Amino acid sequence: MTDQPRPAGQTIGLAVPIPEPYGSELQDWRRSFGDPLADAIPAHITLLPPTVITDAERAGVYEHLDKVAARFAPFRVHLRGTATFLPVSPVVFVALAQGISACERLSDAIRTGPLEVELSFPYHPHVTVAHHVSEEAMDNAFDTLAGYDAGFDVSAFSLYEHGDDGYWRRERDFVLTGEAARV
């Protein structure tokens, strides 16, 4: 039995984009900390890490994502303060104070069917502000944004494609049209 190579495809990721003015603000901060990927990666909360899909799989993936979006109601995200994944990973991020469970449930639903992937680390929604930088720059990012505070409503998640130039581009939004849970 020979291993057949997987057909070439496009690398996608799914995320909650950080709306303006916060998206540009956090990207500017990331750039100021010397993160080499600051210009290539828009500010976001990852729902599905980089995953390769083929052209033949694309329609099924879109159908799956439309169904997921139809099951989820819009929700609120509140970003507040900083945290880090050290010593496991050299990342400083802005933490979610609200919206964690909604992101977790949405990510879990996305990572089924044609997008079933095994994560390298447990899912933890966050907004990266420093990665691939010196320890001093990480400390600076952690301290500088410790008082960061912003809130926004999430009404959709987005599919991003990774270009040959190394940049991630937002290609399609999936609007959350489910009903809010009754309390």
Interval 78-122: pLDDT, tens: 999 999 998 888 999 999 999 999 999 999 999 999 999 989 889
Q: Indicate whether 122 belongs to any domain.
A: yes
Total count of domains within the chain: 1
In a domain, 16, yes or no: yes
Distance CA 81, CA 79 (A): 7
With cut-offs at 50, 70 and 90, classify the pLDDT of residue 181. low
Query: Is residue 155 one of the residues assigned to a domain?
Result: yes
Instruction: Give yes or no for residue 56 having a pLDDT over 60.
Output: yes
- Cis bond leading into 87, ω under 30°? yes
Rounded mean pLDDT, 63-88 = 96
Q: What is the 3-state secondary structure (H, E, C) of 129-171?
A: EEECCCHHHHHHHHHHCCCCEEEEEECEEEEEEECCCCCEEEE
Is residue 57 included in any domain, yes or no? Answer: yes
Instruction: Report pTM.
Output: 0.92
In a domain? residue 2: no
Tokens of residue 172, six digits: 């399609």
Q: Percent of the chain having pLDDT more than 90?
A: 88
Q: Is residue 64 part of a domain?
A: yes
Flag whether 58 is in a domain: yes
Residue 106: give its domain's CATH number: 3.90.1140.10
Assess contact for 81 and 55: CB atoms under 8 A.
no
Give the pLDDT score at 182.
47
For 17-44, what is each residue's pLDDT tens digit? 999 999 999 999 999 999 999 999 999 9
Residues of the domain holding 92: 10-175
